[in-house]
Structure 1
Amino acid sequence: MAVLNFPIPYTEELMYSTVARAGVRQGLTSPKQLLDEVFESRSIIATIDLPNHLATLSRWLPEEYTPDKLIYSHTLFPLYAPFVPEARRLQCMNWLYQGTQGAAHLALGIAASRIKSPRFIRYCPGCISAQREQYGEYFWLREWQVAGMASCSEHGVLMDTRIARPLIERHRFIAAAPEHCLVTKQQKGMGVSDWISTQVRRLLVRPAQASPSFEQWTEHYRSLAYRQGFYRGKAQVDHSVIKNKVLKVWPAAWLIRNRLMPPSSDIDDTDWLKVIFRKHRKSFNYLQHIVVHQALLDSHWQIDDVLYEVSRKPTRKTPQQVKVVMQKSNSQTPDQEAWFALLSSCPPKQARKTSPALYARLYRNHRDWLLDVNHRHAQDKTNPNVPRIDWDKRDREYLQALRQQAMFSEGKSTRTQALKNLLPQAAGQSLPP
């Protein structure tokens, strides 16, 4: 069965918007009916930034609209792809081809990121007016929904619709329309927004490329601090100088609004601005990379040049990395692959708290596999030569507790005997009048 009159995606249009326009063209008012027509399934979640089942959508489009093209030209995946390891990038693309239950958001760090998505679907009144003149209809652009972008560089501040994110009706694709996108006068955007939009647009139009490793990102930031002279001695990064540079370039109100303000205490080891200049064990958000490079480089820097420089850094794979890649290459269910992605960034106990629903499904359907993977992962993180329990300390604590219990029991026995001795005397005395 073919979907009649399925629309061709416009340049920079979200795939979510294209599916919504398909419902308008077919006159479908029921969300379930649209899901039946397009996906042949009623369990699809209408996802704005990283939709899945793109292999199904590509069937209704011309041959040049491959799943890869849909991912890189009509989703927000290019914003995150360069900053995660290559194995994870490929795995996330595979999840977007098929169907996932939020696994891509977990693996890309979006679910746990300090930078939150906009609360409402947004639009630019100036761009909406231009769409109506050129195409005769509205559609949602990718850059309108990017966290950190508050304005259109051509027209001004972006406006919020009343469509909340995440969507209240999880299965409804809502098309851009006059009732949602009022054409009003826009305020002029801040210069900071232009910095963000310049780099975001370059990320969005980047073709599919292999991602640098954590090791390469670590070396890049060490080299960046060294070139700028932000070192104390020979090996210690001067984090206070970097912090002052960031605060000098970026407005404090903007940093606070986007949860990127460094803490006031210089001894806080959880400060993201410090962690990004240390050994990378997790990926950082595109906005964090932009903030650092805008503050430390000249105003003409480009994110493309940075990514090219990072990709040229030397790298090597540790035995643990090779083991994880081999494990991921085996045929696994999407849930098992999602669990591997979580374990690459956190221990099993934290992964269980991060995604309890995923853990429950795996425990119910793949219990032996789950317990074995968690056990092996915990062993990899533990040094077998270091005892997990300080037995001498435990014996001292137990001895002290036993002594206190003995003293308490002895005192209680003495008080009981004294009370018994007093009872016969009290029984022979009459009460006072």
Structure 2
Amino acid sequence: MLNFPAPYPDELVYGILSRARVRFCVTSPKRLLSGVIGSRSVISSVNFPSRLNDFTSINSLNLPSPIDLIYGHTLFPLYSPFLPENRRLECLNHMQFKSFGSVHLASGYVASLIPKLHVMRACRDCIEEQLNTVGEPYWRRIHQIVGINHCCIHGTPLVNIQPYHSMQHRHEYFPLQTQQIETFSPQILISNPKWLDEQVCWLLYRGEQQSLSFEQWTNLYRYLLVKNGFAKGCFCNYPLLKEAVESAWSEEWLRSMNLFPNETESNWLHKITRKHRKSFSYLEHLVALYAIQKDIKLSEVMDRGRSLVKSNIKTVKLTTFSKTKMRENQKIWLNQVKQFGAKVARENGYGGTYLWLYRHNRDWLLKINNKYKRPIPVVNNRVDWKRRDMEIVRALIRIIDKHFDDVSGPRLSIKWLVSQLDTGTSVEKYLYKLPLASIYLARYSESITDYQIRRITQVMIMTRPNILPRWQILRLSGLSDERMTQMTCEFLDSLLANFWALRGL
């Protein structure tokens, strides 16, 4: 059995697999996945890798436990403190087993305002140290964090090295090579307060801890706003807090992170100072906390949040009412809910009845509403799907024309063709609304048999006028008898039989 490379401190799981690819001299991404994880369908992920249980069980000699891998070699520690405890445990379970991308949704990564990082980055000084200490460079997770543009250790600007696209390279793990960094120069980046680097480093290395609840986060922000003079009675003094955010952080950096506060009620800064009903990203919390109190530490904030108890629920004395009025309102509301549903009934002039029942007999009201729940069809007219369908077909025609004569190109599968589009993810999700694109992809996409025959054809063109033995053709084309389809096998046998017949053998 090959000796699997042990992880270096602060190395990504992505980096461990990329070094294993170099050490084992594996050129096929799926062959690497099959050997080290036991599945050929694993999708590479820089942030939240999955199937870590299989990964550690197969390579148990040199790898820590799955939980240690998650908190020591992924970016999940940036998100876990700000998730509810049940959601944090759910994400941990997704990362240990087959998740189908669920951890990206459950962690809030997909819906976050923070822009996604589509390039792998590194620090020149860190690479030089790695070469001197361990003899090879590797991807560090501290360099792949959105919002951190400089190395937290050396203070030098990070260099964009390897583009990362989950659609085009779904199973690929690219190693960090010293030749790559020599061809790139650091970009002119916006400097951040050193406080941000310190708090992000603390999040990465804090280890597994229980997270705060939404109610604790709500009480914590209320406490901080009152303590630092950003409260106006029982509410947040939003203009004052907005001014503090703009003075603490540069406008250019806030806009690049999609965090520049505005006056709308749905703005993230408004929501984070109100009752928490959803999670916020690490960058939203850090921007708000630094504006509220410059010398604050996230470790002290988390400890303070754990000490906050649940707020007392105020009891409201209900007014007296007659049973006759109760029966009348219940009868009216029941007839309307059966006919229209709760939401439509409220909007059609029965909002007062709803409000009266909610105040005097809420349990009955919620039970009836849930019993006669009626889904409201939502028609989205923001997109002209017919026009978009035509545009996508034209783009697909250009892509296929460009690669049609390329015998050595990749397989023109539906997945690959869609990944070449600028809106590939949207097309893949709403393909059922694009009938022309669906028909075009089904007609002109390349099947496995077509691709295998094209690979054999490429080998025949490269070796002409000679004909190699059958086993050598299979090796050069990357095929085997087990992986070839029946039609491909018949094509190759017929081709070789015709050739030897012409030679008179």
User: With structure 1 as the length reference, what TM-score do the two structures score?
Assistant: 0.70
RMSD across aligned C-alpha pairs, in angstroms? 2.5
- More off after superposition, 166-175 vs 101-110: 166-175
Residue identity in the other structure for 1:34: L
Q: What one-letter code is carried by the residue in structure 1 that aligns with 2:301? A: V
Alpha-carbon deviation of 1:387?
Answer: 3.4
Q: 1:219 to 1:53 in 2, by over 3 A?
A: same
AA matched with 2:20: A
Gaps of 5+ in 1: 319-378, 394-433
Tell me the distance in 2 between the aligned counterparts of 1:104 and 1:156.
32
Quote the sequence identity (%): 35
Deviations 1:258-285 (A, max 9, x none): 111011xx3x101111110000000001
Distance between the aligned counterparts of 2:350 and 2:159, measured in 1?
64
Question: In the alignment, what sits opposite 1:110?
Answer: 109
How many Å separate the matches in 1 of 2:155 and 2:231? 42
Change over 3 Å in CA distance of 1:385–1:258 after alignment to 2: closer
Which amino acid in 2 is paired with 1:284? F
- Which of 40, 49, 57 is matched with 1:42 structurally? 40
Q: 1:55 aligns with which of 49, 53, 56?
A: 53
SS of the residue corresponding to residue 192 of structure 2 reads helix
Deviation at 1:386, TM superposition (A): 9.4
Secondary structure at the residue paired with 2:212?
Answer: coil
The whole-number CA distance in structure 2 between the counterparts of 1:309 and 1:315 is: 13
User: In structure 2, what is the equivalent of residue 297 of structure 1?
Assistant: 293
TM-superposition CA deviations, 1:10-65 (whole Å, max 9, x none)? 00000111011111111111111101101121110011111001111212134871
Please say if residues 86 and 213 of structure 1, whose CA atoms lie closer than 8 Å, have aligned partners that are also in contact. yes
Contact 1:118 1:165 in 2 (8 A): no
Alpha-carbon contact 1:52-1:95 (below 8 Å) kept: yes
Unpaired stretches in structure 2, ≥5 consecutive residues: 314-336, 352-505
CA distance in 2, matches of 1:175, 1:315: 49
Distance in 2, matches of 1:32 and 1:224, equals: 51
SS at match of 2:163: strand
Distance 1:150 1:135, change over 3 A: same
The total of aligned residue pairs comes to: 323
Measured after TM superposition, the shift of residue 177 of structure 1 is 1.2
Deviates further, 384-393 or 30-39: 384-393
Contact 2:117–2:144 at 8 Å: present in 1 too?
A: yes
- Corresponding residue to 2:284 among 285, 288, 309: 288
Contact between 1:125 and 1:184, CA under 8 Å: does it hold in 2? no
Q: What is the alpha-carbon distance in structure 1 between the residues aligned to residue 349 and residue 254 of structure 2? A: 48
The alignment partner of 1:180 has SS state of helix
| Residues in 2 aligned to 1:118 and 1:194: alpha-carbon distance in whole angstroms | 21
SS at the partner of 1:128?
helix
Q: Distance in 2 between matches of 1:86 and 1:236?
A: 27
Rounded to whole Å, the distance in 1 between the matches of 2:46 and 2:155 is: 23
CA contact (8 A) 1:199 1:302 kept: yes
Q: 1:387 aligns with which of 328, 345, 353?
A: 345
Q: Which runs of 4+ in 1 moved over 6 A?
A: 383-386
CA–CA distance in structure 2, aligned partners of residues 248 and 392 of structure 1: 48
1:311 CA displacement: 1.7
User: What residue is the counterpart of 2:9 in the other structure?
Assistant: 11
Equivalent positions of 1:246-325 (< 5 A) are: 246-263=245-262, 266=263, 268-299=264-295, 301-315=296-310
Aligned match of 1:21: 19
Counterpart in the other structure of 2:67: 68
Structure 1 contact 86–211 (Cα < 8 Å) conserved: yes
- Structure of greater relative contact order (alpha carbons < 8 Å, 6+ residues apart): 1
**What's the secondary structure of 1:94's corresponding residue?**
helix
- Contact 2:231-2:237 within 8 A present in 1 as well: yes
The residue number in structure 2 matching 1:418 is none
Aligned to 1:127: 126
Q: Kindly state the Cα deviation for residue 155 of structure 1 after the two structures are TM-superposed.
A: 3.9
Give 1:200's aligned residue: 200
SS at match of 1:278: coil
Q: Cα distance, 1:79 vs. partner?
A: 0.2
How much does 1:185 deviate? 6.5
Superimposed CA distance per residue, residues 290-337 of structure 1 (whole angstroms, 9 cap, x where no aligned partner): 1111112133x221111111122113899xxxxxxxxxxxxxxxxxxx
Whether contact under 8 Å (1:83, 1:212) holds in the other structure is: yes
CA distance in 2, matches of 1:223, 1:391: 41
User: Whole-Å Cα distance in 1 between the matches of residues 285 and 214 of structure 2?
Assistant: 14
The answer to whether the 8 Å contact 1:128/1:183 transfers is: no
Contact 2:75–2:141 (CA under 8 A) maintained in structure 1: yes
Which residue of the partner structure matches residue 144 of structure 2?
145
| Structure 1 counterpart of 2:99 | 100
**TM-score, normalising length: structure 2:** 0.60
Deviation for aligned residue 1:392: 8.1
